[in-house]
Amino acid sequence: MSFIKEIARRRTFGIISHPDAGKTTLTEKLLLFGGAIQEAGAVKSNKIKKGATSDFMEIERQRGISVATSVLAFEYNGIKINILDTPGHKDFAEDTFRTLTAVDSVIVVIDVAKGVEEQTEKLVEVCRMRNIPMIVFINKLDREGKDAFDLLDEIEQKLGLTITPLSFPIGMGYDFKGIYNIWERNINLFSGDSRKNIEETIKISDLGSSELNKLVGDKASETLREELELVHGVYPDFDKDEYLHGKLQPVFFGSALNNFGVRELLDCFVEIAPKPRPKQSEERLVKADEKDFTGFVFKIHANMDPNHRDRLAFVKIVSGQFKRNTPYLHVRHGKKLKFSSPNAFFAEKKEIVDVSYPGDIVGLHDTGNFKIGDTLTEGETINYKGIPNFSPEHFRYINNADPLKSKQLFKGIDQLMDEGVAQLFTLELNGRKVIGTVGALQYEVIQYRLEHEYGAKCTYENLNVHKACWVETQDERSEEYQEFLRVKQRYLAKDKQGQLVFLADSAFSLQMTQQKYPKIKFHFTSEFD
């Protein structure tokens, strides 16, 4: 197959949701359609169960699962689909943000009873800022839930989306009869009292026909007609171009657990979802069909086998073909590297591959060369943008608890930070090291991994920091900036890239500092224009 055809048949996306909305269940059903797995229950959820915070075996088990489910690839009707896993647990939100730099589109899963939840809001905001095309799937329709129109309003208001339903439920809760598919103009009816199975899919080209009344009864068909008229009047018509530019989000209703509406979602997805999109580097926009290979690291995973120190770096291929045993330029190091056993991912297994194409993810064995955000090319010096660090939520001093193992401790901290487990700040005043994380759980993960993988011991000490702010000035020699450096020295630190960071101890002190030094800019992420 030609290079261009290979690109055109790839769809790389992520499923995002608040925990428990049904992301794992939906992923599993999609894999079943692709024939990638044979039975339900094969995809393990990688969510950290509540109360598991001190159970290290649980954390290790989860890490194992999260390698297995990092990329789930399968074929459907000649289309190669790559699903990138995004952890739902909020302590790992930064992992999810980074994964979103590697997807070409997303599916947002919402629980019909719970509506828009906190984690969904945050993740959708990131996608909206990047104009990532999104499809919304409202799940658990077999249960009593919110009124469809109320829920659609909530989605528009809380998520700031412009939506258009492409399917619509017939009845609700106890009276739930099935789903009318606006996209395909047919009906899925659900059978029996349990409404557990799809009875049949019936083509309805004319909504006014009496056939509809025969199928779902007079009352339900009247209501459906009214509701669809309202849908037609209130929501814009679906426009693929608008969807592809992140300006319009189609909505599907269904029940992942019972496989209602999942095939319809998948069929529409393969038809409308974008093929590998161009990506902006600091130097230029790179298109997927360019001849030369380029790609970037969006995730690093330490190997689970303690006898092997190597790690797996996940590279998204942006352009060209990635070939095994070919030297590629590691732009940050300015040196060429060859990879003899790049892994490709298929459902739940990985295999060595000779060639991969734009949209694909390859897993490269790494002994410490890579960090998140690194770019690989055939020789051109370009740096992919878009993996900034966000201000952590928690901050603690890290202390060495075993003076004989300080080398191991520093190596361990260094490598764990490159993996993106947390962020390291070094105080300007005294060189003390501070670890910043999104969730408290990471401190336990770090302590455990330092001990088991590097033989080092650490303790933590609380530090009162409200936000880390990356500092920007136009003139380093100005009086204002020099005074800021002097007065705030106690609160200044360098991040791992050597950028200056102001660790504000409260919202109030941040506000006062901003007022006092109006020419200095304080950013909550490490990248700014």
- Rounded to a whole number of angstroms, the minimum distance from the CB of residue 153 to ligand G4P is 22
Smallest distance, Å, CB 142 to ligand G4P? 5
- Non-local (6+) Cβ contacts of 100 within 8 A are 14, 16, 86, 106, 123, 126, 127, 130, 132
Residues 106, 108, 109: CA angle, nearest 5 degrees: 140
Residue 24 marked in a binding site: yes
Residues 344/355, Cβ–Cβ less than 8 Å? no
CB atoms < 10 A from the CB of 220, how many? 18
Q: Which of 3, 8, 20, 332 binds ligand G4P (CB under 6 A)?
A: 20
Q: State the nearest-atom distance from the C-beta of 166 to ligand G4P, in Å.
A: 18
By the rule CB under 6 A, 115 interacts with ligand G4P: no
Which range of residues in 136-144, 318-326, 360-368, 502-510 is near ligand G4P by CB under 6 A?
136-144
Q: At what angle do helices 148-159 and 118-129 cross, to 10 degrees?
A: 60
CB of 82 to ligand G4P, least distance (A): 18
Give me the torsion for CA of 100, 103, 106, 110, rounded to 10°: -40
| Nearest to ligand G4P of 145, 295 (CB atom) | 145
When asked if residue 90 is in the footprint of ligand G4P (CB under 6 A), the reply is no
Cα–Cα distance for residue pair 22/136, rounded to 1 Å: 13
18 is in an annotated binding site: yes
Distance CA 16, CA 95 (A): 12
- Contact stretch for ligand G4P (CB under 6 A) within 12-20, 173-181, 222-230, 385-393: 12-20
- Is 89 among the annotated ligand-binding positions? yes
Task: Please report whether residue 107 would count as binding ligand G4P according to CB under 6 A.
Answer: no
179 in contact with ligand G4P (CB under 6 A) = no
Q: Is 77 annotated as a binding residue?
A: no
Cα–Cα distance measured from residue 359 to residue 13, given in angstroms and rounded to the nearest whole number: 9
| Residue of 31, 204, 220, 256 interacting with ligand G4P (CB under 6 A) | 256
Residue 23 annotated in ligand binding: yes
Q: How many residues bind ligand G4P (CB under 6 A)?
A: 19
Smallest separation (angstroms) from ligand G4P to the CB of 170: 16
Residue 328 β-bridge partners: 337
Q: What is the 3-state secondary structure (H, E, C) of 207-249?
A: CCCHHHHHHHCHHHHHHHHHHHHHHHHHCCCCCHHHHHCCCCE
When asked if residue 86 is in the footprint of ligand G4P (CB under 6 A), the reply is no
Q: Does residue 257 touch ligand G4P according to CB under 6 A?
A: yes
The nearer residue to ligand G4P, 82 or 119, going by C-beta atoms, is 119
Minimum CB separation from ligand G4P for residue 186, in Å?
A: 20
**Vertex 401: Cα angle to 403 and 452 (nearest 5):** 100
86 in a labelled binding site: yes
Distances, alpha carbon 23 to alpha carbons 44, 84, 85, 116, in Å: 11, 12, 9, 14
Q: Tell me: does residue 142 bind ligand G4P (CB under 6 A).
A: yes
Q: How far is CA 513 from the centre of its chain?
A: 34
Burial class (CB in 10 A: 0-12, 13-18, 19+), 60: middle
Q: Toward ligand G4P, which CB reaches closer, 9 or 89?
A: 89
Q: Which DSSP letter does residue 281 get?
A: B
Cα–Cα dist 296/499, whole Å = 22
- Looking at beta carbons only, is 22 or 412 nearer to ligand G4P? 22
Tell me the per-residue interface mask from 25 to 64 with ligand G4P, x by CB under 6 A, - otherwise. x-------------------x-x-----------------
Task: Determine if 408 is a binding residue for ligand G4P (CB under 6 A).
Answer: no
Strand ranges in 320-449 using DSSP code E only, listed in sequence order? 322-323, 328-330, 335-337, 343-346, 349-352, 355-356, 361-366, 375-377, 394-400, 423-427, 433-437
Take residue 188 and report the two structure tokens written for it: 């899925």
CB 177 to ligand G4P: min, Å: 16
CB of residue 463 to ligand G4P, shortest distance in Å: 32
Using the contact rule CB under 6 A, the part of the chain among 98-106, 249-257, 327-335, 494-502 near ligand G4P is: 249-257
Asked if 85 and 69 touch (Cβ cutoff 8 Å), the reply is yes
How many Å apart are CA 408 and CA 18, to the nearest integer? Answer: 37
Distances (CA, A) of 233 to 165, 230, 251, 327, 341: 12, 5, 16, 57, 55
Quote the CA–CA distance of 382 and 356 in Å, as a whole number: 20
Shortest approach of ligand G4P to residue 71 CB, angstroms? Answer: 16
**Cβ-based nearer residue to ligand G4P, 34 or 87:** 87
177 binds ligand G4P (CB under 6 A): no
Q: Between 21 and 344, whose beta carbon lies closer to ligand G4P?
A: 21
User: By CB under 6 A, which span of 14-22, 67-75, 159-167, 266-274 interacts with ligand G4P?
Assistant: 14-22
85 is annotated as contributing to ligand binding = yes
Q: By C-beta, is 29 or 371 nearer to ligand G4P?
A: 29
Contact status: 249 vs ligand G4P (CB under 6 A): no
Tokens standing for residue 360:
């694909």
Binder to ligand G4P among 119, 255, 294, 526 (CB under 6 A)? Answer: 255
Query: Residues at the annotated binding site?
Result: 17-24, 85-89, 139-142
Query: Residues at the annotated binding site for GTP?
Result: 17-24, 85-89, 139-142
Enumerate binding residues for ligand G4P (CB under 6 A). 17, 19-25, 45, 47, 88, 139-140, 142-143, 255-258
